């Protein structure tokens, strides 16, 4: 079977979020299972090829808003695996994301298939709203191609006026304009993909169920419930070759569960990395004080940064050390900056730093993930891979990947009190029962969050699509 995987970002060429990681690691896992897969991605100005060889394999033209638009198709591969990646280049529409970017990008992909510039795939695997028009375009052109849409975050709809599909040459009556949006005459990119795709999956089993409810359905839960027979959940994974404390070049001390060669065992490795991080942050070097981390986007509607802020304000900061790495809403950046300037046991950095992130996974005792909702989440998997215990809200993929009291700690209510109580519970175990905490670390490190099982589930879904 031949799969075309469509994403708006892909690591290491251009990445702004978790989808960039997934667009690299999932195709790689599928390729390793003998699936013929390639990628289609926009060529933004920010894309960096890092010395990878590139070749222009063709051009394709579309008509959009009555104007002819030509795209150059540039082929490259991942640095470590020979998977074709096709970057679509157009200076006006694809240099930076804009209102028309994803409409013309989707059109260019379909036209390149129709003109045989790209090999016709059996399945187009679409990701989020950025590829939301592709299932509709496949139907519009009556192409013998199946489509799968993966929902990474239901909140990221992507919207435009109904005139955008008119510019695309599509009959607006083919679109699913919701009754309450008729006056605005808007279309919802993600909803178009969900309605017209042959199959839909969310990025965890729990999230696939949550989006059918009023609480998590972002206003389209009734529509999703009507389509629930084609919606499933498949958990994301992480690339163990990239996220690995045995060979992470950012770490001063590499380690594994058991010592071997130049690797420390988990107890010594974690202790050494903790002391190194404490020294780097100018904290007291103390193995008995819990070192608590937060890594994430400052998005108060999803990530719970306000809950953590309240906890840090209230809790006895002499008994804890906090390190916060995150950017986003300016008002929350300012509040955390104030905390770090006022309290010596609170460190905050508002520029993402991959090196510091790795050192936090290795050096912190706990990682806090207080999300209101979390479709899947990757950082809890990475944390456990490094023996860093997650403290998270029981939602979405967090609920599917963390076993409360066994490989981490979960809390139900989306309140700072629930988070604080759970943090105190975790810290109490850390302080009073070193053996139990050490066993929890080992269980967390032994969890298998590689793409192996999830890739098998995607292959099963592909086979169902092809009958």
Asked if 372 and 395 touch (Cβ cutoff 8 Å), the reply is: yes
- Rounded distance between C-alpha atoms, residue 148 and residue 199, angstroms: 5
Residue ranges with strand state E in 30-122: 36-42, 55-64, 67-77, 84-89
Angle at 284 between CA 282 and CA 286, to 5 degrees: 135
448 vs 2: CA distance, rounded Å: 27
Nearest Cα neighbor of 397 from 121, 190, 204 is 204
Q: What is the Cα–Cα distance from 391 to 408, expressed in whole angstroms?
A: 6
Q: How far apart are CA 12 and CA 10, in angstroms?
A: 6
Q: Which helix (H) or strand (E) holds 323?
A: strand 321-328
What is the distance in angstroms between the CA of the first residue and the CA of the last residue of the chain? 12
Distance CA 211, CA 153 (A): 10
- Tokens found for residue 85: 């990646």
Is 15 annotated as a binding-site member?
yes
* Residue 103 phi, psi dihedral angles, 5° rounding: -65, -50
- Helix count and strand count (H, E) for the chain: 17, 17
The residue written with tokens 């999803």 in the block is: 302
Residue identified by tokens 């017209």 is 196
Helix (H, G, I), strand (E, B) or coil at 331: helix
For the chain, how many residues are written?
467
| Binding residue ranges for ADP-alpha-D-glucose | 15
| Binding residue ranges | 15
């Amino acid at each position: 079977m031949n799969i075309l995987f469509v994403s708006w970002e892909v690591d290491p060429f251009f990445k702004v979020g978790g989808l960039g990681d997934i667009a690299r690691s999932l195709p790689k896992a599928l390729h390793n299972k003998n699936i013929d897969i390639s990628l289609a991605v926009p060529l933004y100005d920010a894309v960096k090829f890092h010395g990878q060889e590139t070749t222009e394999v063709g051009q394709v033209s579309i008509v959009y808003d009555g104007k002819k638009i030509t795209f150059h198709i540039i082929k490259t591969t991942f640095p470590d695996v020979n998977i074709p990646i096709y970057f679509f280049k157009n200076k006006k529409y694809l240099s930076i994301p804009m209102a028309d970017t994803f409409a013309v990008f989707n059109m260019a992909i379909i036209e390149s298939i129709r003109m045989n510039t790209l090999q016709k795939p059996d399945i187009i695997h679409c990701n989020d709203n950025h590829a939301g028009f592709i299932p509709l375009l496949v139907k519009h052109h009556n192409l013998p191609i199946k489509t799968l849409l993966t929902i990474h975050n239901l909140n990221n709809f992507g919207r435009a006026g109904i005139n955008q599909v008119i510019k695309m040459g599509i009959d607006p009556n083919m679109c699913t304009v919701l009754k309450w949006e008729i006056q605005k005459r808007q279309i919802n990119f993600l909803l178009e993909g969900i309605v017209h795709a042959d199959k839909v999956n969310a990025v965890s089993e729990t999230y696939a169920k949550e989006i059918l409810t009023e609480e998590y359905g972002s206003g389209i839960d009734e529509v999703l419930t009507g389509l629930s027979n084609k919606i499933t959940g498949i958990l994301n994974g992480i690339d163990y070759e990239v996220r690995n404390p045995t060979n992470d070049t950012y770490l001063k001390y590499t380690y594994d569960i058991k010592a071997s060669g130049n690797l420390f065992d988990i107890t010594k490795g974690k202790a050494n990395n903790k002391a190194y991080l404490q020294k780097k942050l100018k904290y007291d070097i103390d193995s008995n004080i819990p070192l608590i981390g937060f890594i994430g986007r400052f998005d108060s509607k999803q990530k719970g940064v306000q809950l953590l802020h309240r906890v840090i304000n209230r809790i006895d900061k002499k008994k804890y050390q906090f390190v916060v790495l995150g950017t986003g809403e300016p008002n929350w950046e300012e509040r955390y900056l104030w905390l770090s300037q006022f309290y010596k046991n609170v460190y905050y950095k508002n520029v993402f730093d991959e090196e510091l992130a790795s050192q936090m996974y290795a050096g912190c005792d706990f990682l806090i993930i207080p999300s209101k909702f979390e479709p899947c989440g990757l950082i809890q998997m990475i944390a456990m891979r490094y023996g860093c215990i997650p403290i998270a809200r029981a939602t979405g993929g967090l609920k599917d990947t963390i076993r409360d009291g066994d490989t981490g700690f979960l809390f139900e209510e989306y309140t700072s009190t629930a988070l604080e109580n759970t943090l105190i519970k975790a810290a109490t175990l850390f302080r009073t029962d070193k053996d139990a905490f050490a066993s929890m670390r080992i269980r967390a490190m032994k969890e298998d969050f590689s793409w192996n099982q999830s890739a098998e589930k995607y292959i099963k879904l592909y086979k169902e699509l092809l009958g």
